[in-house]
Amino acid sequence: MSRLTKEEYELTRAFPITSVCKVDIMSTGKFTREEVLKLDDADMERLANGMAEAYLNVGFWIDLPLIIDDIMKDIRKEEKNDKE
């Protein structure tokens, strides 16, 4: 088995995006505390997987370039200021 180079590791290292908890479900106003407390870990995993899939199918690929453009602009501005 081959090991990743440092560059390959840096390019493929994953960072968490978000999470979901039972309070989030209650905040929808659609379910009572008692109903939400009936959800077990498997139910929450199912919800989290569904939310991740939905985000990837709709918003992720739209939001990614918009957000990274802002970050890259800031980095370029900092680099320019460091050179001055």
DSSP string, 17-31: -----HHHHHTTTSS
pLDDT of residue 21: 96
Mean pLDDT of 45-63: 91
Distance CA 46, CA 42 (A): 6
* pLDDT at 51 (0 to 100): 92
| Mean pLDDT (the chain, rounded) | 92
Output the CA angle 68-44-40, nearest 5 degrees: 160
pLDDT tier at 1 (50, 70, 90 boundaries)?
low
Alpha carbon distance 19, 37 (integer Å): 17
Q: Using the predicted structure, report yes or no on whether residue 83 has a pLDDT greater than 90.
A: no
Lowest mean pLDDT among 5-9, 27-31, 53-57: 53-57
Residue 31, number of CB atoms within 10 A of its CB: 15
